[in-house]
Amino acid sequence: MKETENSHKDSSTTFKYLKSMKETYDILRWCWKQFVNEKSNGFIKRIFIWAILSRVVSLVYPWLMGLGIDGLYLHNKTYAIGALVGIWLTYVIGSLFEWRTGHFTELTLGENMRMVEKRINELFFSKNLGLHLEEGGLLTQENMEKGWNHLDSVQKALLFGGIDSSLSLILSFGMLTILSPVCGVIIFFTLIGNFFLSLRLNRFVTQHMEPVESLFRKLHRKRGER
């Protein structure tokens, strides 16, 4: 009976965690709709284009290294010299593509920060006085600052690491599947297992870090009151 209750509690907790993930996704969609304008969307599209080109060039590098090693092993100067020239070209071209990616990343970040400040002021001052009086404990400078910091950390994580990591994973997986379908299937199921394991670990961390987060909010409010 106790095991059944524990199992029911665990499944209920898992359901709540998945529900909270859905709410987080909805919040991110709302943030995208409110704070990302057409100009920023144009920058993001350019980020994807240059990042894809950069990742494609980086995938050519291992092949050139293999070609150079084969050339040295077979005493083929043409292969060896061609590999060295190719490695140098991929380094230069890849650096150029990464520079362009970083350039549009910074432009996107700056435009988003400007838009966030603008929209926060518009949304805050568009509320009537009664709502401010009713929700005075929530519509505070500390809560707004905390929300802004969370949004800023999420967008920086996506812009500086998320896009590049995702493209690297997708392109590498695609190339591996083309070269060896069996290895591609193995990696696919490995990724699925890693996904579910990550969900479980994230739920575990969320449960045990919630008291710490509560203390952090309390400390943040106390510091703001001072």
Tokens 């943040």 label which residue? 220
**Rounded Cα gap, residues 22 and 194, in angstroms:** 20
Q: What are the boundaries of each domain within the chain?
A: 1-33, 36-162, 180-226
Tokens 């695609």 label which residue? 174
- pLDDT the model gives residue 189: 92
**Rounded Cα gap, residues 91 and 85, in angstroms:** 10
Q: Is the pLDDT of residue 200 over 60?
A: yes
pLDDT in tens, 49-70: 998 898 888 888 888 888 888 8
CA-CA-CA-CA dihedral for 162, 166, 167, 170, to nearest 10: 180
Provide the mean pLDDT of the chain: 78
- pLDDT the model gives residue 221: 66
pTM: 0.69
Q: Residues 134, 106: contact at Cβ < 8 Å?
A: no
**Mean of pLDDT values over 11-17:** 62
Q: Distance between terminal CA atoms of the chain? A: 51
Contacts of 111 (CB under 8 A, 6+ apart): 37, 39, 40, 43
Q: How confident is the model at residue 112 (pLDDT cuts 50, 70, 90)?
A: confident
* DSSP secondary structure code for residue 81 in this structure: H
User: Please, what's the b/e burial string for 106-127 (b: 16 or more CB within 10 A of its CB; e: otherwise)?
Assistant: ebbbebbeebbeeebeeeeeee
**Mean of pLDDT values over 14-42:** 79
pLDDT in tens, 63-102: 888 888 888 888 888 888 888 888 899 889 989 999 999 8
Contacts of 2 (CB under 8 A, 6+ apart): none
Q: How confident is the model at residue 3 (pLDDT cuts 50, 70, 90)?
A: very low
Q: Residues 181, 187: contact at Cβ < 8 Å?
A: no
